[in-house]
Every structure is written in structure tokens, then in C-alpha cells.
Chains A and B, each alone.
Chain A
């Protein structure tokens, strides 16, 4: 029988939950709600102006220059998401498989693969910015030294190579994380199932497709959803490597960068505009929440319970 009288145990649990809940309300729920409120007002610098209803939202979605900026940023986010799904998660799955099968030096590689994940994004950004520098950079000097001078490029300054370069740097930085999750999932596959499969077929491909992939599906769900959220919140790397305008001329602009620029105004670009900035933040938040939820439901369906 459930009882609603306060019990010692109930009080004890409440006292444990309360501080955490308070912190969440104060530092997570409250800022989100206030950003929502900001988006409905006109702003004049720091001073809040009139209540304008959905005007800020319709502005950023329908009016120039917001409209094409937000569309451009959104498309870049989409490219980032799909590229990382293929490159970063694809590589992670293969790496996890290689580590799981314990190819030579597996212990060393397990650490090596995960190592970049512990570095701060700012350090990774500056490091790769240096590597990709057109005059002093390691990458171009390496290409020149092996006779591939024609391949040496100003990687971060060209529209065709800027975003791909950032995507590869991100994949280098983060590949260890999905690798670890896939590896843990593979290690959970019961030995007898895998042994039984081995008696049926010699082909590694068939084993991966029919046994391993279906059984790591729950891990894949987590990886894909986190990847989605990460891709649409992508900020640090483009900010560090391509500055606040998403150089060159918007080719590495993403939603988070656009929001930041709009709401706070870059020191060398323009003025703060909390109203439109908050509207972008709210739209991004709603989009991520809705899409991540749908994705979770959809992916959960294909998971196999062991």
C-alpha cells in the first residue's frame, strides 16, 4: 500500500534530491524559461522594450537578412550531422570492432584512441589551426615534402575545404567516445551467441551484420542521439577555428554561432540583440528536443533485447 504520510525514509530521500533539484531549477530551468520570455520582447541594448509577441520568431524565420543566415547555418548543421554520422561513428564502429577482436597492441590503441577526447576543444582547435596554417602549417609542409605541392591548400580559408576540415578535426577529437560505447556494447555480447554464429559462417561481414550490429543497437541509439544533439549545438570548434562570422563568408556558420553573434554582438561585428538571439535559441532548443525525442522512439523500436 502506498502511503502519502511523510516517513523517515521519504524525508531522507527528499533531503537528498532537494539540493540537486534546486540547482537544476536555478541554473537550467530558469535560464531556459527566461530565454523564452526574452524572445517575446523588443530589446534596445540592455533595456527591455515592448512585448512584441511572435515578431522575433517570424523575423528570424521569414525576414531578411535573418532568413538566409539561419537557413545557411541550419544547412551547415545538417551537413555536419550527416558527415559525422558517417565519418566519426563509422570509424568508431570499425575501431571498436578492431579493439574488441584484440588485434596486436590493442591495449595501447585503446588508450590512444580515447586520448584526444580528454583534451579541451579550445586546445584541439588552436592545435589544428596551427597544423592547417597555409604558411607555417604541418599539413601543407608535409604534403610539400612528399612532392604533393599541388594538394597544399589554405584549408580553413576556402569555402570548399573549411567545413570539411572542421568536421575531420571534430572526428579526430571525439572518435574515442563512440568507440568506447560501441566497445562496451560488443563486450556485452554473450560468448555463446558469438560462438554459435562462428559455427555457422566463416564470413566476418555476415557476423558483423547479423550478430554484432543488431546486438549493439541500444548503444547505437545513444551514440546517434548524442551525435544529433552535439551537431546542432556545435559551437566551440567553429568559434575557435573560424571566428564569430563563420569564415570564409558563412561557409562554416552554424546555428549556435549565429545565435551567439545575434544575441551578444561580436566585439568587432555589431550590437547585442537579445530578442532575435533568444528567438533563435528557443527555435534551436525546440527543434533539438522534438527531433531527438522522435529519433529515440524510432531507434528504440529496432533494438533487440537480450
Chain B
């Protein structure tokens, strides 16, 4: 036998004997295929502190992740730890009993998390948290800061500022807004990213208390102002799809974009020179409170049927630690909800500051659990309203009636 082959065999035998003694392997699935390198780093951090545990990462492309994960869990072949979505899509999975309940004993750090973050990963029927929330997203106004500075324009605060900025941009031959309404989901972003301040915290609280619905003047006023702003959207905006909107803004052909905090990184990857400014939704009066709309993206959950409960618990505690949250924010440029995390990236810090004055991204957070979901209703009807085929009052009425089919406070 050749010495080389001998060495290999000996090494294999040694590895085979030695491996079980000092390493327990757990699997970890997610949908962030674009973040594999960063997640490998996070896992290396964890493995360094816990040499007896090995984490095997598998990222599945986002569109089919849900289906693959559900099939695997139903067939008892699921991962030990996994990324799960939030709200309605989270409940889809959690209600099947596949996830490990995360009480304060299991993951003590959770009790310091913001309540809104925990709500995203709580099953409403048993009021139990099943996942560690990992990031929040903010719906707001983005503007091309370099362009605004060159033209002597300040960050828009009120609807009047928006008008003034839009007219100045138009005169300079630039599209004031990059937004289009062809992709249905963009209409929901538009509604709350641009309308949150006009609706106000009071409106949100009243809806939650069952004292107001979407025919409320505050909601209708927001829709009216958004519809009116469509005069500053590109020609043919009803046929403009989402990637084209991104292109228009990133290339400097448009000055403002109503969008999510995830757009900042996307814009910078398309045009590294762009300086993106962020602002809350425009207010009616100069001294009104400017608000953004916030939701949580997803969380990390343990498999209730895992054979490595202890290792899974250790890994989950790591994913809830400030150390991980800091690395997550630094490496992935996302807003971690973990208390005490600092944002070295100024863009991220700006969004985190905006999040101090916010309302939840209402339809996703509260009305995406049943059919017809509030999201579907807003997307279809605001799209119709923006095309001029429906008035803001009609849109508000249809949204309310649709939700009323399953939401008791709206049934009068």
C-alpha cells in the first residue's frame, strides 16, 4: 500500500473514532442564500465558544424555502435550528407544533427584547414565543441626499415640503418619485411608508381598540394625499414594475422613493456612489410627529423534535446574545432588535433613530392571518385608486368590509 493511501486511511479511522467524542452536529437552515459567508462567520464564532458543537448550515433559495421546510418538518426530516418568517407565515408553521417553545428559562435574554419584536414570533392561540426575532424593516421615505444638497433642498418633512421638492426636481428634468404601482405589493409600501404620519399613532391605537376602521378620516386623508402625489410619479407609473423603480432611483433619474430600509443596501450595490437620505412619512403640519412603519422580518427557531435539545438551546441563546446581534448588524447591515446593539454604519443608525417614532406596518402585523388579508385588500385597492379608478373613500370602505368578514370589531 502506498504511504499516501495509508495516511488517508489512518486519518479517516482516527476521525471516525474521535469525532463523536468531542462534537455534536446540529443542522441550521435558512433562506438568506446571499448571506452564506456572513452566517459561516457567525457559526465560527459560536463554534469557537462551544468546541463540542458543530453547526451545519444550509441555505435554500427564498421563494421555495417555506415549501421545502414545511415538507421536511412534516416528514420528520427537518433541521435542528431554522429561520422562520413572522406573523401569519410564522403561524402557518408554528401552529403545526413543530417548533420548540422558547420560555424565559430556555432563552433568558428574550425577556429584554422589545415587545413588538416578540409579538412577530408569538403564536396568538397559546401566547408562546417560538423564535428569536432577527431584524426589523422600516417603511419610510428615501431621497437622493447628494442631489438634494446640490439643489439646495432640505430633507422633506411636511406634505408642502414634498410638493416644493417635487416641483424643483421636475423643473430640473428629474422624476420627483421613482415609485410605480404595477407590482401589487408596492402599493402597500406606498400606503404606510408615505401615509404613516398622516394616519398617526392615534389612528393605529383606535383601530386596535376597535374604535376606528379604515373608513376613518385620518386613513382616508392619508390615501387622498398619496393619490395626489401620483402627479409626481413617472409617466406610465401604473405600468412601472419594482426593479424599474429601483433603477430609476439608484441611477439618479428620480429624486425620492417610498420604500423599505432594505432598499439602502440594494441602492448602494447598484450605485456605490449614491448617498441615500432617510426621512419619516410626510406630516400635515410642521410640528406633527413624523412616523415610519415598522415590522419584523423573521426569527430563529428550534425543532421541537430535535435529538440535540441541549446543543440547540445553546445555539439559540447565542443567536439571542448581544455579541451575535452586534455581528449581525455590522456584517449584514440590518437592524437587530437585540437590546444594546450599536450601529456603526451611519445609514443604519439613521434608520434606528427613525424607528424611535413608529407605528407597526399594520396590515402585515395584524391583518395577514386570514383571507382576504388586509395586505391583499390594500394592495389591490390602492393600486386601483392610484390608477384613478377608485376614490380614497371607496378604497377605505372596501378594505374595511373585506377585513370585517373575519374581524369582529369591524362588524357593525
Contacts and interface: CB of A to CB of B under 8 A. Distances in A.
Q: Is the interface of A mostly helix, strand, loop or mixed?
A: loop
B74 interface: yes
B59 interface: no
Contacts of B93: 45-46
A268 B185 contact: yes
A157 B376 CA distance: 17
B290 to A, nearest CB: 25
A147 interface: no
B239 A153 contact: yes
Interface stretch (A22-30, A133-141, A173-181, A214-222): A133-141
B389 interface: yes
A110 interface: no
> A262, A270, A271 — which one has the most chain B CB atoms within 10 A of its CB?
A270
Nearest to B88: A271
Contacts of B202: none
A249 B371 contact: no
B181 A157 contact: yes
Interface in A33-49: 44-47
A156 interface: yes
Nearest to A272: B92
Given A46-B93, A247-B183, A270 B238 contact: no
B46 interface: no
A268 B188 contact: yes
Given A133-B244, A157-B236, A249 B368 contact: no
A159 B386 CA distance: 13
Interface in B357-406: 368-373, 375-376, 379-381, 383-384, 387, 389, 402, 405
Interface in A145-177: 152-159
Given A45-B96, A65-B405, A248-B238, A271 B373 contact: yes
Nearest to B91: A45
A249 B375 contact: no
A110 B262 CA distance: 48
B96 A46 contact: yes
Interface in B104-128: none
B316 interface: no
Nearest to A64: B405
A35 B350 CA distance: 49
A244 interface: yes
Nearest to B97: A47
A128 to B, nearest CB: 12
Contacts of A154: 182, 235-240
A135 to B, nearest CB: 5
B374 to A, nearest CB: 9
B240 A157 contact: yes
Given A47-B97, A154-B236, A269-B185, A247 B383 contact: yes
Nearest to A46: B96
A61 interface: no
B235 A245 contact: no
Given A135-B234, A245-B376, A157 B239 contact: yes
Interface string A250-286: 1000000000001011011111110010000000000
Q: Is the interface of B mostly helix, strand, loop or mixed?
A: helix
A99 interface: no
Nearest to B384: A249
B236 A134 contact: yes
Contact residue range for chain A? 35 or more
B54 interface: no
B241 interface: yes
Contacts of B70: 46
Contacts of A243: 182-185
A242 B372 CA distance: 19
Given A133-B244, A158-B387, A247 B184 contact: yes
A254 to B, nearest CB: 15
Nearest to B370: A271
Interface in B31-74: 62-63, 66-67, 70, 73-74
A136 B244 CA distance: 9
Contacts of A45: 91-96
B62 to A, nearest CB: 8
A248 B244 contact: no
Contacts of A44: 95
A156 B223 CA distance: 23
B240 A133 contact: yes
A179 B369 CA distance: 48
B224 interface: no
18 contacts: A46-B70, A47-B97, A65-B405, A129-B241, A134-B236, A134-B239, A135-B234, A154-B235, A155-B239, A157-B387, A245-B376, A249-B384, A249-B387, A267-B62, A270-B88, A270-B370, A270-B372, A270-B373
Given A46-B93, A243-B182, 17 more contacts: A47-B96, A133-B240, A134-B236, A135-B244, A136-B247, A140-B236, A157-B238, A243-B183, A244-B184, A245-B380, A247-B182, A247-B184, A265-B92, A270-B88, A270-B373, A271-B370, A271-B373
Interface of A: 44-47, 64-65, 129, 132-136, 140, 152-159, 242-245, 247-250, 262, 264-265, 267-273, 276
* Among all A-B residue pairs, the 9 with the closest Cβ atoms: A134-B236, A154-B239, A157-B239, A157-B238, A154-B236, A270-B373, A45-B92, A268-B185, A46-B96
